[in-house]
Structure 1
Amino acid sequence: MSSQRTFEQDVERLYLDHHGWLKGWLRKRLGEASDADDLAQDTFMRILKSRRTLHDLRQPMAFLATIANSLLVNRWRRQALERAYIEALATMPEAVEPSPEERLLLIEALVEIDTLLHGLSPRIRQIFFLSQLDGLTYPQIAGQLGLSVDQVQKAMRKAFTACYAARFEAL
């Protein structure tokens, strides 16, 4: 029996044993059955894509809840970004309002940037924001956070490396 077949059987068993429980768990958090169905399905799709060995899972419900919770947080973050973007659009004159296609592309770009930034440690993200959004110099950031300029430079190098990887290595 091939490992491919075993993996598929493991996913099938996990699905049959826990899909109903997962949908109920998500429904409690979302209050909407169709959204819970979608996220439960997305959870199993992520498992299929990960190709992670499942036969030795000791706590399958905790495993599923961790994946589903991550998807849920990503969903809420995306919704918050969409709301903020729509609020910003409401303040713009109609002549400069982007088309629906441009809106979708902008929201997708915002989600990618948000995902990238949340992949950084909180300290690196803070240093990156102080530099790129607030326009502070490395010595100013170092003074404000009680760090050395070398520490700020290393943090920025990590942030820029993540940005570079997201932009050029995904192509």
Structure 2
Amino acid sequence: MSAAESIPQQHAHAVRILYSEHHDWLFGWLRKKLGCAHNAADVAHDTFMRIIASRDALLGVEQPRAWLATTAKRLIIDRARREVLEHAYLAEMAVLADSLPCHPAPDEILMALEALDQIGAALQAINARAREAFMLHYLDQQTHAAIAVHLGVSVRMVQKYLVQALLACRHRCAALA
């Protein structure tokens, strides 16, 4: 067995151990935090999916429950931001529907929601800081300088994060077209 083959096996073994030792705790913690077993199950699942996707993330984790909780909290924040975006879109559509003589066709609404899904998938594929910069700028309408202070980076780095996010969105949408 080569070294390259043993790394995925070690990762899979580490994930199995992490899951078996901490999934019930994480699910219970999320159920208390979210007040809904279904949402807790979804976030717990997404937490472990994110961990599986990060190949070398299990190396050197000394406090797995803190790590799982932090990952889950970030996913909850991402979900909340997506819901805010969706609600803002639907509210804007309602305003437009009241002011326009015709309503958007159901297929147009579906296309818009699919576009939001594609943007969400593209943002999941980039690093967390770039995703956060994107959300802060485009959803919370914060300036580059405010985002730089929030993230503890330079304005130039914020600009790089935003370019990275926009390129990921463009790539994702082009790949699906």
| TM-score normalised by L of structure 2 | 0.66
| CA distance in 2: counterparts of 1:14 and 1:155, whole angstroms | 34
1:67 corresponding residue in structure 2: 71
State the shift of 1:89 in Å.
Answer: 1.2
2:132 corresponding residue in structure 1: 118
1:126/1:33 CA distance change after superposition, 3 Å: same
1:65/1:102 CA distance change after superposition, 3 Å: same
2:42 corresponding residue in structure 1: 38
State the shift of 1:97 in Å.
Answer: 2.0
5 Å matches for 1:9-24? 9-24=13-28
**Structure 1 counterpart of 2:167, which letter?**
A
1:144 corresponding residue in structure 2: none
State the shift of 1:32 in Å.
Answer: 0.6
State the shift of 1:58 in Å.
Answer: 0.8
Q: Percent identity, please.
A: 33
Contact persistence 1:81–1:110 (CA under 8 A) = no
| CA distance in 2: counterparts of 1:121 and 1:61, whole angstroms | 27
Unaligned runs of 5+ in 1: 129-150
State the shift of 1:166 in Å.
Answer: 2.6
State the shift of 1:11 in Å.
Answer: 0.4
Query: Aligned pairs, how many?
Result: 149
Higher relative contact order (Cα pairs below 8 Å, separated by 6+ residues): 2
State the shift of 1:96 in Å.
Answer: 3.8
**Structure 2 counterpart of 1:10, which letter?**
A
1:7/1:82 CA distance change after superposition, 3 Å: same
**Structure 1 counterpart of 2:133, which letter?**
G
State the shift of 1:105 in Å.
Answer: 2.6
SS in 1 for 2:96: coil
1:25/1:97 CA distance change after superposition, 3 Å: same
| CA distance in 1: counterparts of 2:161 and 2:59, whole angstroms | 37
State the shift of 1:119 in Å.
Answer: 2.5
Contact persistence 1:39–1:68 (CA under 8 A) = yes
Alpha carbon RMSD of aligned pairs, Å?
3.6
Unaligned runs of 5+ in 2: 125-129, 146-153
Moved more, 64-73 or 86-95: 86-95
Contact persistence 2:144–2:158 (CA under 8 A) = yes
**Structure 2 counterpart of 1:126, which letter?**
T
| CA distance in 2: counterparts of 1:121 and 1:38, whole angstroms | 22
SS in 2 for 1:108: helix
5 Å matches for 1:70-149? 70-93=74-97, 95-99=102-106, 100-108=109-117, 111=120, 118-119=132-133, 125-127=142-144
CA deviation map 1:8-66 (0-9, x unaligned): 11100100000011011111221110110011011111111111252532100011111
| CA distance in 1: counterparts of 2:19 and 2:90, whole angstroms | 37
SS in 2 for 1:11: helix
